[in-house]
A and B are shown apart, each in its own frame.
Chain A
Amino acid sequence: MSLKAFHVIFITAASAMCVGFGLWMLRDYRTPEGSAGDLAWAIGGFVVGAGLLVYERFFLKKLKSVSYL
């Protein structure tokens, strides 16, 4: 597996982690102790998660000629 393939796997995992983080912070926000800061973290997590997927598409286009092996 080349660095290109491993990078795609890593960015996918990082994006999933960001979305999971966003969901976790959203859950904290919905508790009685939740604050606006928790909501901001949740939105940040979703935005970064989506941003990473956009970057992944750009990366795959840019390195189209490089092998996955």
Chain B
Amino acid sequence: MDIPYTSKPRPDTGLYNAKVGIWLFLASEVMLFGALFSSYILLRVGALEENWPHGLLNIPIGTFNTAVLIISSVTVVMAWASLKMKQFGRFKIFQAITVLCALAFLGIKSFEYKDKFTHYEVWKTDGTRMTGHIEGNPMFLTKAKLVAAGKDKIEFLADPHHYSEGKLKIGAQSGEHKHVEIAIGDIKRLSAFVPAHSTYFAIYFTLTALHALHVLGGAIVIGFLFGPGSKMWHTDPDRFTNRVEVAGLFWHFVDLVWIFLFPVLYLL
């Protein structure tokens, strides 16, 4: 017995099964991301201005990634429209571009992550704070690790401005990086820009990593429909077109989340 309404819409709802399923799933996703967005906003408005890192994310890179996702949303809808017009060859091209955009987004995001893992903040015992890079660009160093390694000092390339001076000072990039030597005894705390650094980076990595996982999941599904899954076009074209539409709906949701994430994390 065939499962009904896999390609033709149910008369009472006007929707086929998969479309009802994806919208129920997306409703649960709205609740998940909505809760995290609310957490971010509440933490942000409750934080002291000097303790909330801002201006530390690279706006040109974030803007480029936003453009990549907007382009991918256009190509994913064009792939679906091509199937509607029975143009399988064009579908293949647009679907391939979408997968490439997803991979480009993830590649750029991992580059951004690596940059954060090698960028440090030092809290000194005299109460001063500075951000910058440790010579050799090591990742995930802490004071405990330095002590365990028997180090007595670090070579630090300090940024011209600390984020507590304000976003605009950091954005202006005025001043020069200073090369300083810091004795381990003078360090109260040392942390890379990782989730343990601060509330800001904890929520930043939670939101962006969860979003990146969604991008990866979407890329796998879209890649499957581009590759082995596309065989269905020759046996059941209507159902295949519906599958591409459902994947496209998920992809649009993922892109829409980023449209909200980008200004909240990179600009505010």
Contact = CB atoms under 8 A, between A and B. Distances in A.
Our verdict on whether A and B bind, yes or no, reads yes
Contacts, number: 61
Contacts of A17: 66, 259, 262-263
B168 interface: yes
B172 interface: yes
If over half of B's interface residues share one DSSP class (helix, strand or loop), that class is named, otherwise mixed; here it is helix
B159 to A, nearest CB: 15
B174 A21 contact: no
Interface string B240-268: 00000100110011011001001100010
Interface stretch (B76-84, B90-98, B180-188, B219-227): B76-84
Contacts of A31: 168
Interface residues of A, number: 28
B14 interface: yes
Interface residues on B, range: 20 to 34
Contacts of A35: 172
B77 A14 contact: no
Contacts of B77: 3-4, 7, 59
B15 A69 contact: yes
Contacts of B80: 3
A4 B84 CA distance: 12
